[in-house]
Amino acid sequence: MSLVANTGKLAGRTLFITGASRGIGKAIALKAAQDGANVVIAAKTAEPHPKLPGTIYTAAEEIEALGGKALPCIVDVRDEKQIQNAIDAAVKQFNGIDILVNNASAITLTDTEHTDMKRYDLMHNINTPGTFLASKLCLPHLKNSNHAHILNLSPPLNLNPYWFSLHVAYTMAKYGMSMCVLGMAEEFKQYNVGVNALWPRTAIATAAIDMLTGDTSTSRKVDIVSDAAYFMLCKDPKTYTGNFAIDDDVVTEAGVKNLDPYACDPSNVPNLLLDFFLEHPGSQAQLKQAVKKSEAKATSSGQIPQLFESISKSLSADLVKKTQAIYQFNVKGKEEGVWHIDLKNGDGSCGQGEPKSPPDATLTMEGANFADMFAGKLKPTTAFMMGKLKIAGDIQKAMKLEKMMKSLKNKV
């Protein structure tokens, strides 16, 4: 649901969008298409993905159905020749390039010990190099445009060590995209090329997020990002450059007074999952209040053994099939101890002590909050984002706890 009206300002403009076959990249393309823009879909997916919807060709059909013109190009942003070929094709068909959107990105939310070099190299060969290379190769054509923009889907440069400690490999790769904004905005002023960054305040309901967490009820629709991107790309690049914008701030500036319709579940607005790299003072206050309440209720009567006894009765082969992860819980405080839930083998199992197989994720938190987390009174994602829950291992699998707990809380 788009809440920012199209103005026609991008009519006839040519956008080169990396990773535009699905998700945020495609949403930006579709928004521009409503103005009658030309869109180069620079993405890898030429054949249908077994788990993710959309190809460069299906995206092209959607763009043209909305009144835009599309040029699907098979592009791996790690390959300079493929990027250059797509640029050449765009210039031949549309006589130039006005806007570059660096959207293609790879993500692995693991700590240092659990980040294999294959995944490290993937992130560090796509995120920053792909952004730098596409910007470098498009620059000669952007110089010839009277409305030249580069927009990177990357976060503000928050140097709080917390964001590095969680997933330093991903943080470095993503911040490289933001550093491109910082440097190129100043460098390209002489060419009247605006260079800006856009980042969502909350999780965005894309197929990737659905795969990551198994749940989009705590996310906003992709429209809030495409609305924000559209509003930014309609600004005068001579004066609008070097900004690290947040999606809801931008759409509010554009005149949107009520953000609730952007939520996948408007009734769940208070529980939206906040995105990485942003400080959330209000959420910290909410979390402290939740923690204080849980601590006030906590007793030394042994809540955790009773909790795991209830959990054991709720495990099933179906839950194992959906989750495919082993969790270890290091509980601190009055009920200090180690517990586990195995949702990878058989019909599932849980109990005290370390799991028989190595855990995919190890979670450490105060015992006073543990029962509330499984009862749905303290969201693990919120606790994690605020540093109250420490996670080692595969953070992506740890995030699946949110959905698992929903299925358990009515039975616990």
The 10 Å Cβ neighbour count of residue 115 is: 18
Angular region, 5: left φ>0, alpha ψ -120 to 50, beta rest = beta
Token duo for residue 124: 């560090």
Q: At what angle do helices 117-142 and 80-94 cross, to 10 degrees?
A: 30
356 forms beta bridges with none
Nearest to 113 by CA among 166, 162, 154: 166
Nearest to 215 by CA among 292, 162, 272: 272
**Active site (catalytic) residues:** 170
Query: Cα separation of 263 and 200, whole Å?
Result: 13
Residue 189: partners with Cβ closer than 8 Å, 6 or more residues away: 241
C-alpha distances in Å from residue 284, one per residue of 77, 295, 296, 383: 38, 16, 18, 9
